[in-house]
Structure 1
Amino acid sequence: MRRTHRRTRSLLASCAVVAGLLVPAGLYAAGHVGATGAAPPAPSPEPSGAECRTSVQGSRVVAHCHNPYPTADRVQLHTECARWWDVDADGRPVTVGPGRTVRLTDRCWKEVASAWVTHGTGTGS
């Protein structure tokens, strides 16, 4: 019975080390875990950018972009038409201020193959 307890404890300790729950001695370097001296991970950037919803009806594309964040976002609608002779279009970039919503529109002569919105930062319109 004693052998079983030792084996169980040994197995649990091994699993904990593998899972990273226990840190073996010697891996502490300058207050950080890891012998390589790697810095702690950088804090994640603040969320930013407008949320855009794009819809296609026939030959028309509409995108509504709302920016709930305190920094401006520059959005641009891109439309790819289905027919080879129908000209694809890139709309003009529009700045979406904090707490604002913009509506972007475009169209093809016939069917729309795809439409998407790109983002960037900026203050011009």
Structure 2
Amino acid sequence: MRLSRSLASATAAVCLVISLSYEAMPHARVQAPGAAASELFGASCRSRITGSRVTTYCHNPYPRTDGVRLHIECDRWWDLDSDGAEVQAGPAQTVRLTGRCWKEVRSVWVSHRKLAR
């Protein structure tokens, strides 16, 4: 008798879940035909620190030009940090950025900027 009651409770719970309206159920969003897709952007960059020198390669796989700049923070308080000049990484192009400190390098990063087509 207990088995049939628990089976009845489980059946009722399943029926309740199935009977939820389509609007209440989470589903993938489909983009409207006229809406613009989000644009992919940004070169992928790899940096290598060798002693006090920094070399970075940035490859842009996307159709929009990316303006990349190398930023270097030096470890010593008297060593000047540097922000490199902006270089244009066009579609399917790889660019090389270099810089250095007098002594040790503390950190390196690359900034990106969308450039006009």
Cα pair 2:74 2:103 within 8 Å, conserved: yes
Q: Identity over the aligned pairs, expressed in percent?
A: 44
Q: 1:102 to 1:123 in 2, by over 3 A?
A: farther
What pairs up with 1:44-83 in 2 under 5 angstroms?
Answer: 45-83=38-76
Deviation at 1:63, TM superposition (A): 0.5
Amino acid at match of 2:5: R
Distance 1:46 1:68 in 2: 12
The offset of 1:6, in angstroms, is 1.6
Render the CA deviation track for 1:87-120: whole Å, top value 9, x for unaligned: 0000011110001000000000000000000111
Would you say 1:10 and 2:18 are equivalent positions? no
CA gap of 1:89–1:13, structure 2 versus 1, over 3 A, is: farther
Q: Structure 2: how far apart are the matches of 1:23 and 1:91?
A: 61
1:9 & 1:108 partners in 2: Cα distance? 71
Residues 60 and 108 in structure 1, CA contact (< 8 A), matched pair in contact too: yes
CA-atom RMSD in angstroms = 2.7
2:20 to 7, 17, 24: 24
Task: State TM-score, norm by structure 1.
Answer: 0.73
Q: Which runs of 5+ in 2 are unaligned?
A: none
1-structure distance, mates of 2:19, 2:110: 46
What is the aligned partner in structure 2 of residue 112 from structure 1?
A: 105
Q: Contact (CA 8 Å) 1:74, 1:123: kept in 2 or not?
A: no
Q: Is this contact kept in 1: 2:64–2:115, CA < 8 A? A: no
How big is the shift at 1:70?
0.8
1:84 and 2:77 aligned? yes
- Which one scores higher on RCO, CA 8 angstroms, separation ≥ 6? 2
